[in-house]
Structure 1
Amino acid sequence: MSGHEELRDEVAGVLSLRPEDIEEHRNLADLGMTSMELMGLINRWRKRGLQVSFDTLVEQPTLAAWRKHLEAVS
């Protein structure tokens, strides 16, 4: 994941929200992120070579936690 805003933009697209409406530490499940939508994101990221963990992302469903995980696996 190359940029801070790239993750927010991707998640916003999945949730049909404006990127600026997603706070860094807001629970994405509370904003409507489903496990199927998360799997879609994970598949995109894996195609880019990122070995992301579904369990890790579900455990802490916030942009801040996801960014940290994506940086660790890139």
Structure 2
Amino acid sequence: MTDSSNPNNAATPAALTGEALRAALAELIGISPSEIEDDANLIQLGLESLTMMRLVTKWRRAGLAVAFGELTGTPTFAAWNERITRELAKADA
């Protein structure tokens, strides 16, 4: 059994785009992926700042240049998905 509140149990950054990201965030928050609309504020849905900091650390270790302030500044699924997709494209280039 995994602890769904642990960001280390979320999908790896390479798999964190689109519906995989939505599902991973929903698991961390403890809600259904269908409850995370593209423009939904992830903080208002229950994503805690400590969990966000752990995600940033995990993603940075995987080579993604994401910043905590950037994610808290635009805490929507669509913004995060776009940002991570952009970083993954840079890594693949």
Q: TM-score, normalised by structure 2?
A: 0.71
Identical positions, percent: 35
Number of matched residues?
A: 74
1:22 is aligned with what amino acid? Answer: I
Q: Give the CA deviation at 1:59.
A: 0.3
Question: Partner letter of residue 14 of structure 1?
Answer: L
Kindly report structure 1 stretches of 4+ aligned residues shifted beyond 4 Å.
Answer: none
Choose 2-11 or 58-67, whichever is displaced more. 2-11
Which residue matches 2:72?
Answer: 58
How far apart are residue 40 of structure 1 and its match? Answer: 2.0
1 or 2 for the larger relative contact order (CA 8 Å, sep ≥6)? 1
Distance 1:6 1:52 in 2: 18
2:50 alignment partner, SS class: helix
Say which of 46, 49, 59 aligns to 1:35.
49
User: How big is the alpha-carbon RMSD for the aligned residues of Structure 1 and Structure 2?
Assistant: 1.4
Q: Is there any run of 5+ residues in structure 1 with no aligned partner, and where?
A: none
Matched, 1:72 2:83: no
Q: In structure 2, the residue corresponding to 1:30 is in which secondary structure?
A: helix
